[in-house]
Structure 1
Amino acid sequence: MKKTISILFLMMTTILWSCEKPDDNISAPRYGLAGVAAQFADESISTEQFTSTQEPPYGDTIRIQFPKYYPRNSMQPIDITRMRITATLPVNVIINPKLTVMDLTKENIIEVVNNDGTIDKHIIIGEILP
């Protein structure tokens, strides 16, 4: 009886010690937003995408850059009051509120719920270059 208990105890401790902790997935990004872009909501103007020069992970404010005049080489000031915003996200990352048409002359606040449950708040705004 004692021998059976000793063998069972030895087997259980061997099983417990042999369990390994899985390695972290180092290829998975540590931040939520991988890219942000804007284009005119009215695609008859253009389908060109405008982006930020910032690299992920983004800070509190994401500035999407635009030329002062559009179409380029014209004297018509660009209108960024109706821009469709898109984002590149890793798996299981959510943006609230959903990205839609935004007025980039104003601050637009979004929350990014990362796949680990943390929440990052960002402000998206347009920046017109001289």
Structure 2
Amino acid sequence: MNRRIGFMCIAVGAAFQVTTVDAADKPKLSCDRGGDVGRYGGTDWLVYGCSDGKTLAFFSAESNPANPYYFILTPKDGGYQLYGEGTGEKRLTDAAYVEIKAFTSAQISALLRSHGAASP
């Protein structure tokens, strides 16, 4: 992987923040663990574990026509919620969304372990 891409994704991941409903309680979430390439929806995504040990971030690789786009897979109500944002090619981001959304608990646990995070 191109070093520039890796540093760019780490910077973007490190800047990602998760906020709660209470504005006084805004934990910062750093997503800079890993950076391995995964193929989802037929395109390449850089996968990072986050500092809470439970969240995963997927950034479209620079060569991915879905770029710029990212997904955040975060725990919610005993399961996982998938959120995505960006302006990449919609049919490709939709395909990746469908594949990531269908992850089993075992798949999520494996990704969390490989990116220095805890299991769900």
TM-score by length of 1: 0.27
User: Would you tell me which structure has more helix in proportion to its own residues?
Assistant: 2
Higher RCO, 1 vs 2 (CA within 8 Å, ≥6 residues apart): 1
TM-score by length of 2: 0.28
